Each structure stands twice: as structure tokens, then as C-alpha cells.
Structure 1
């Protein structure tokens, strides 16, 4: 249940966020339809953050790796947070 909520919150946060990150949050279907090529994975973790903060950390890390997009494949919060994403070129 928490994982579903976290995914939904990350998706909503991506729509509401006005960050300067260039990497876009995409779904698996969007990645396939845009012919994006996976180039690796990234993960972030820390102590109790909002979905917006987690999304910003993922986007910044994706940017640093030279990705144009990323897709969250795992996310949870339990006092601490952790999220893993596939990055695309």
C-alpha cells in the first residue's frame, strides 16, 4: 500500500514540480513509444523526505549521469526513503 501511494505521489509531484532538472519522469509505455534506450539505474535514499524532494533528487542524479529521462521502478518510505529508477538516453 505504501509503495502504491509513493509511486502515485512521485507521479503527482512530477507534474507539480517546477525544478530546473532536464531529465523527465516517464512511464514504461512513454519510454517505449519514444524509443528511449536504457543506460543504467540510479537510486537515492535518505531520512524522511517529501515525494517532491525525492523526485528532485532522482532528476538531479539522472541529469548528472547524462540521462534525458528516468522511470521509477522502486520507491518506499518507512521513516527513511529509498527510490530506484532506470535512466534513459
Structure 2
């Protein structure tokens, strides 16, 4: 349940704008529709963060890797959070 909540919260947080050059959070459907090409994975972890903060960390890390988009493939938050995302160009 916490994983589902975390993923849902990350998706909801994607509505917020974090800058024009920030990598975009995408869904499985968007990956297929836009024919995005996978370029690797990233992960973030830490202690007690809001879903919007986790999303921002993923976006920043995706930007550093030169990705334009990312898709959360695993996330949990039980006091210590961890999220993994696949990167796309």
C-alpha cells in the first residue's frame, strides 16, 4: 500500500512545474506513444522526504544524465525512501 501511495503521489506531483529544462515524468503509455528510447536507470534514497521532493531528486538526476524523460519503476517510503526510474531520450 505504501508503494502504491508513493507512486500515486509522485504522479500527482508531476503536475507541478519544476523548470523548463527539467526531465518529465512519463507513464508507460507515453513511452509507447512517443517512441522514447531507454538510456538507463537511476535511483534515489534517503530518510523521510515528501513525494514532491523525491520527484525533484529524480528529475535532477535525470537531467544530469542528459535524459528528457523518466518513468518510476519502483518506489517505497517507510521512513526511509527509495525510488528507481528508467531514463528516456
* Fold equivalence (TM over 0.5): yes
Give distance in 2, aligned partners of 1:86 and 1:71: 5
- Residue in structure 2 matched with residue 51 of structure 1 by the alignment: 51
Q: How many residues align?
A: 88
In the superposition, the TM-score normalised over structure 1's length comes to 0.95
Which SS does the other structure have where 1:35 is aligned? coil
**1:26 maps onto 2:3 in alignment:** no
Which SS does the other structure have where 1:86 is aligned? strand
Moved over 4 A (4+): none
Which SS does the other structure have where 2:62 is aligned? helix
Give distance in 2, aligned partners of 1:46 and 1:62: 17
Give distance in 1, aligned partners of 2:39 and 2:18: 23
Give distance in 1, aligned partners of 2:17 and 2:40: 25
**1:14 maps onto 2:18 in alignment:** no
Give distance in 1, aligned partners of 2:36 and 2:79: 34
Provide the alpha-carbon RMSD of the alignment.
0.8
In the superposition, the TM-score normalised over structure 2's length comes to 0.95
Which SS does the other structure have where 1:49 is aligned? coil
- For structure 1, the 5+ residue unaligned runs are none
- For structure 2, the 5+ residue unaligned runs are none
